[in-house]
């Protein structure tokens, strides 16, 4: 994987940051997006280049405007010679999910549309742009981060769960159509992971205890817990694995 290039959305914190750092440790150059944390993004670029000897660059992207990916990838073309891996990770929270992060009877079209845009449409447009570059180097690997919230009931999560189910369907269709280009497409579905986004849940403490009780491993997931699967799916070790969703949830979707 050394000297190849990863493009990942939303890598200034949480799962995205953990993935970016692991890939950098493996010698992969990193192109990542951020929404508003420009200084944090700059600090991460400096840290990755200084400590791991890779090339790193950060690009501003509003995930609610997926077509911005087209301009972002043009900038990536100026900074990097190739694109080998694309991971769609960025999510939205706060005001943009009002009406989408709520009980069923309080769901509103705007909030639901925003979540769908940031999850599914952003995956589609980002992947399309990545594919154009991967074709030039003979193939690549695309991953969408998903969530077990679409198979296990999670309070207030129906808007996100619906979008995650949709993106997993899109992953299978993309895998079927892109296989002939030697491009594999998969999803990594995490159980509840202890991130800033989860801390925004009104019942965070209750959920954390519930997850730890449900998991045979007795704890909630951490961002680092999803990194290994992403690394595996981008490596030659998984060369015959495509169109799949790998569930990493500490056993919570069974118990």
- CA gap 108, 163 in Å, rounded: 14
Question: Which residue among 116, 157, 181, 255 is the active-site one?
Answer: 157
Q: 3-class SS at 157?
A: coil
Q: Tell me whether residue 34 is one of the annotated catalytic residues.
A: no
- Nearest in space to 233 (alpha carbons), one of 160, 175, 164, 192: 175
- Nearest in space to 235 (alpha carbons), one of 23, 10, 14: 23
Angle at 61 between CA 233 and CA 3, to 5 degrees: 40
- CA gap 118, 10 in Å, rounded: 11
Question: Which residue among 164, 204, 208, 255 is the active-site one?
Answer: 164
Residue with tokens 């594999």: 184
Helices (H) and strands (E) in the chain, counts: 9, 7
- CA gap 149, 157 in Å, rounded: 7
- CA gap 12, 90 in Å, rounded: 10
Q: Tell me whether residue 157 is one of the annotated catalytic residues.
A: yes
Catalytic residue positions, numbered: 157, 164
């Amino acid at each position: 994987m050394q000297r190849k290039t990863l493009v990942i959305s939303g890598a200034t914190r949480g799962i995205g940051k953990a993935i970016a750092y692991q890939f950098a440790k493996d010698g992969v150059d990193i192109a990542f997006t951020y929404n508003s944390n420009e200084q944090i993004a700059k600090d991460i670029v400096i840290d990755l280049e200084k400590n791991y000897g890779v090339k790193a660059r950060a690009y501003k992207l509003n995930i609610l405007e997926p077509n911005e990916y087209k301009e972002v990838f043009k900038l990536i073309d100026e900074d990097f010679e190739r694109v080998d891996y694309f991971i769609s990770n960025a999510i939205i929270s706060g005001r943009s999910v009002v009406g989408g992060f709520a009980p069923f009877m309080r769901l509103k079209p705007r909030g639901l549309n925003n979540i769908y845009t940031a999850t599914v449409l952003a995956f589609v447009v980002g992947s399309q742009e990545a594919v154009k570059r991967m074709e030039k180097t003979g193939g690549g690997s695309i991953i969408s981060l998903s969530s077990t919230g679409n198979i296990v009931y999670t309070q207030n999560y129906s808007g996100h769960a619906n979008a995650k189910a949709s993106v997993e369907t899109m992953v299978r269709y993309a895998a079927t159509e892109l296989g002939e280009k030697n491009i594999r497409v998969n999803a990594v579905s995490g159980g509840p992971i202890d991130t800033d986004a989860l801390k925004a849940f009104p019942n965070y403490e209750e959920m954390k205890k519930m997850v730890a009780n449900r998991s045979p491993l007795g704890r909630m997931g951490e961002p680092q817990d999803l990194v290994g699967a992403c690394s595996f799916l981008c490596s030659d070790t998984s060369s015959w694995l495509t169109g799949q969703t790998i569930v990493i949830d500490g056993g919570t979707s069974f118990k």
